[in-house]
Amino acid sequence: MSEEKLQFYRVTDKYLQFLKQIEPKVHLNYPQRKKPYIGIILNIGSHQYHAPLSSYKPQKYDRIKNWNKTIFKVYGKDQTEKLAVIHLNNMCPIIQTEIEWMDFRQEAQHYQNLLEKEYRYIVENQEAIRQRAKGLYEDVIKGNTFYSRISNDFALLEKEYRKFNT
């Protein structure tokens, strides 16, 4: 059984704020920006997880080796243009009513172009993204000290997220 092609989604403010009360490492939407907090949805076990996408900051992400499971670097066509990172360590379980598919056509042209470049790379590398996310998830669930310290508490979030009231 193959999984669906990865897509970009927005998550509601209310749901992210609820999760942040459970796990302080959950990222929130940007309050003063028009740019939405977007990410991809991954199936892990019996849960769907939102893995947030963030712009690439060389001073922060150049130091992180590609084998590190906490992020997945997103490049342009030629592998030299650094576009974004997927924060696998900050992924959180989602509820279908609290996500919205992102239509790139609704965005400003320059942002739409960036999203399309990021999306192409993500689709081309979706199996590697899924494998890295599942590997990180398993390491955190098993109590790996390094990954548990810098990742969301997936077991706690899975226990609590269904208590959200819309």
Mean pLDDT for the stretch of residues 43-47: 91
All structural domains of the chain: 8-156 (3.10.129.130)
Two structure tokens written together for 51: 């893995």
| pLDDT digit string, tens, across residues 93-132 | 999 999 999 888 888 899 899 999 999 999 999 999 999 9
Q: Where are the beta strands (DSSP E) in 56-142?
A: 71-75, 82-87, 92-93, 99-101
Cβ distance 81 to 75 under 8 Å?
yes
| pLDDT digit string, tens, across residues 15-36 | 999 999 999 999 887 765 545 5
The larger pLDDT score, comparing residue 137 to residue 1, is at 137
pTM of the complete model: 0.90
Cβ distance 79 to 34 under 8 Å?
no
Q: What average pLDDT does the chain have?
A: 90
